[in-house]
Structure 1
């Protein structure tokens, strides 16, 4: 197993732990995971090709669908509500 897959597995575990935190404590680790994901997906794509990279991207979008929806609405100029 390559380093990119080992780091990817650690990323998935960190995302799962972050999802179990209360909403107010998810912000900083969630942002860090959100920023690291494209680099990690690129590394997986570099090592294994575009099909595993697409699978990793699909998993990323599935895990971060709500933050990505929020960022999309915010980028469009809307003011989405943050859950408590």
Structure 2
């Protein structure tokens, strides 16, 4: 297993452990931190393993951070000229 996939697995474990802890802000700070770490990590995984593995890791990240992605798409649709 490549170092980038090991780091991606550690990111997924950290995300799941963070989700189990109680939080006053509904985990938004943790989601921002995980996103800030996950985007460069996704680039590293894609660079080292190719685009198909990168897409699989992207799908795994979206499944973990589904609410920030949901709110981002809702915000993009509300913008003038953003959809519909």
After TM superposition, the runs of 4+ consecutive aligned structure 1 residues lying more than 4 A away are 75-78
Q: How does the TM-score come out when normalised to structure 2?
A: 0.77
Whether 2:61 is the aligned partner of 1:73: answer: no
Q: How does the TM-score come out when normalised to structure 1?
A: 0.77
Pairwise mapping of residues 5-84 of structure 1 onto structure 2 (< 5 A)? 5-24=5-24, 26-77=27-78
Unaligned runs of 5+ in 2: 80-84
Unaligned runs of 5+ in 1: 79-84
- Tell me, in whole angstroms, the C-alpha distance in 1 between the residues paired with 2:78 and 2:38: 25
The alignment's C-alpha RMSD in Å is 1.9
The SS at the match of 1:15 is helix
Q: Which 10-residue stretch deviates more, 40-49 or 16-25?
A: 16-25
Deviation per CA, 1:20-66: give whole Å up to 9, x if none.
12342522222110122121111111111111001001111111111
- Tell me, in whole angstroms, the C-alpha distance in 2 between the residues paired with 1:22 and 1:68: 21
The SS at the match of 1:12 is helix
Matched length: 78
